[in-house]
Amino acid sequence: MMDKTDWKLLKEIADLEKTPQGAYNIRRNGQLDSRSTTANIDITTKTGGKSGIDIRVKPGTKKESIHIPVIIQATGFTELVYNDFFIGEDCDVDIVAGCGIHNTGCETAQHDGLHTFYIGKNSKVRYVERHYGEGEGEGKRIFNPQTVVYLEEGASIQMETTQIRGVDSTKRDTKIVVGKDAEAVITEKLLTHGSQTAQSDMEIVLDGAGASGRVISRSVAQGQSKQVFYPKMTGNAACFGHVQCDSIIMDQAQVSSIPAIAANHVDAQLIHEAAIGRIAGDQLLKLMTLGLTEEEAEEKILDGFLQ
């Protein structure tokens, strides 16, 4: 039975205030809490010793959603979950994932997950993953997600990953292999504060003719936190790729952004941009003339930057 804290976590990571419609799988403290399938979407528990689920979407499935949130309240709890998504041809689906940890104890609570997507020809997937931590205990809240995506001809994925406050340490690994005339768009949003650390390793491999990829990374580093980004775009065919990383640095924080592009074909068009800087003084001044305090003006700018 889920309590108020569970529902608060679900609201933060999946925008859920009640049991979702459509297919869903809610995992709580390492165990299945509830599950629903549909005529077109099947969710089954993994066998063979691995923890996690298999999600299978029938060809032609459109305008359906899948929610697979994870919530943890147990201090000292650590898990590794494997989730595999098999998306048939000509589908159009939304997938909402993410994990929320409420840790009031003195031991670490940690969730590591490996999500692998096999997206069929001409299918469209919108994937949202949010990480959130809370709790007044001294125990750390740690997330280490891995995401691997294989896009067949004409397929696309729009991936949005968000981590705003409460996460002490994270290491994110993402790899997407983009086939002929397929498209991958990744939007990454991250805020760290205190002594938190975050590392994001990302590789987009444009493997087929007409493939395209775009990475938009925005982050804010506050306090003594540290962030490191390694986005890489590789073009193996006539393709187009763009990597854009923008960071705001504050206080005594440290940010490293190391974008890379690698062209292995004469018709590969690849671009990368990276910018790190503080909040502009004229932006603060403009908002303060409208009656905001300096702190309120900073928050307004950061909220807009991370939207």
Q: Is residue 215 part of a domain?
A: yes
Looking at the DSSP assignment, which residues form a beta bridge with residue 133? 101
Domain presence at residue 289: no
Which of 138, 148, 208, 196 shows the shortest CA–CA distance to 171?
196
Q: What interhelical angle do 281-288 and 294-305 show, nearest 10?
A: 120
Name the 3-class secondary structure at 244.
strand
Question: What is the reported pLDDT for 289?
Answer: 77
Residue 132 pLDDT: 95
Q: In the prediction, which pLDDT does 165 show? A: 82
Per-residue pLDDT, 282: 76
Cα(190)–Cα(206) distance, integer angstroms:
25
The pLDDT value given to residue 51? 95
Residue 92 inside a domain? The answer is yes
pLDDT given for residue 2 in this prediction: 84
Where does residue 292 rank: exposed (0-12), middle (13-18), buried (19+ CB within 10 A)? middle
Residue 101 lies in a domain: yes
| Total number of domains in the chain | 1
Q: Is residue 290 part of a domain?
A: no
In this prediction, residue 283 carries a pLDDT of 75
pLDDT score of 150: 98
Is the residue at 296 inside a domain?
Answer: no
DSSP state letters, 156-178: EEEEEEEEES--SEEEEEEEEEE
Q: Is residue 301 part of a domain?
A: no
Which regions in the chain score pLDDT beneath 50? none
Indicate whether 291 belongs to any domain.
Answer: no
User: Which run of H or of E encompasses 281?
Assistant: helix 281-288
- Give the predicted TM-score (pTM) of the model: 0.94
Cα-trace Rg, the chain = 20
The three-point CA angle 249-253-258 to 5° equals: 70
Measured CA to CA, the distance from residue 229 to residue 260 in angstroms comes to 10
Rounded alpha-carbon distances, angstroms, from residue 82 to 116, 172, 240: 8, 15, 31
Task: State which residues form the domain around 155.
Answer: 4-281
What gap in Å lies between CA 105 and CA 108, rounded to an integer? Answer: 8
In this prediction, residue 260 carries a pLDDT of 94
Q: Which helix (H) or strand (E) holds 303?
A: helix 294-305
